[in-house]
Amino acid sequence: MDESVLKCPSCSAEGLERGTDEIDIPHFGKVVHYFMRCTRCGYRINDFAFQGNFPNEDKVKIEKKEDLDIKIVRGSGATVLIPELGLELYPGPLAESFITNVEGLLNRFLQLLPLFEDKDKVSEVEEKIHSAVEGKFSFTISMTDPSGVSHFIRN
């Protein structure tokens, strides 16, 4: 590992704290979670690494409220699509790795919606997301990730 001093991208303080932890996923294996944390402002950078040969594409169908608890491991290189809602998340310089559940993913999208210009479309999608959170709207989530890190964890 690179031992040079890293600056916090948020507050420019030097010396980010590094750490790793392992997440053991049944029927899948171990995912290593790398993180760096700024001791001054708490800024965190997350990434995941996975050793193994796994499909680069994973898909789930969300049909009932319990499905909202399905967990999502999203590596920074993953494209996340919800075609029924017209939602797309692409890898990019600001793409974040995260572990969340379906409800958390929908909330992330909700936070991004105000950035779009077509206000009619925004309120339509907002409405659909709200009924999705209540389990009244079924949809599919697909993730493609060249590194194979990204996947769904079905309980």
Judged by CB, which is closer to Zn ion: 14, or 69? 14
Should residue 131 be labelled a site residue for Zn ion when binding is judged by CB under 5 A? Answer: no
Could you give the CA distance from residue 74 to residue 119 in angstroms, rounded to a whole number? Answer: 28
Should residue 9 be labelled a site residue for Zn ion when binding is judged by CB under 5 A? Answer: no
Closest distance between Zn ion and the C-beta of residue 19, in Å? 16
Closest distance between Zn ion and the C-beta of residue 11, in Å? 3
Closest distance between Zn ion and the C-beta of residue 125, in Å? 34
Should residue 10 be labelled a site residue for Zn ion when binding is judged by CB under 5 A? Answer: yes
- Window of 31-39, 51-59, 88-96, 137-145 that interacts with Zn ion by CB under 5 A: 31-39
Judged by CB, which is closer to Zn ion: 38, or 62? 38
User: Segment 38-97, which members bind Zn ion (CB under 5 A)?
Assistant: 38, 40-41, 43
Could you give the CA distance from residue 140 to residue 85 in angstroms, rounded to a whole number? Answer: 9
Number of neighbouring beta carbons within 10 Å of residue 40: 14
Closest distance between Zn ion and the C-beta of residue 10, in Å? 5
- Window of 11-19, 71-79, 105-113, 124-132 that interacts with Zn ion by CB under 5 A: 11-19
Q: How big is the CA angle at 77 (ends 62 and 129), to the nearest 5 degrees?
A: 30
Closest distance between Zn ion and the C-beta of residue 66, in Å? 38
Could you give the CA distance from residue 12 to residue 67 in angstroms, rounded to a whole number? Answer: 40
Chain residues binding Zn ion by CB under 5 A are 8, 10-11, 13, 38, 40-41, 43
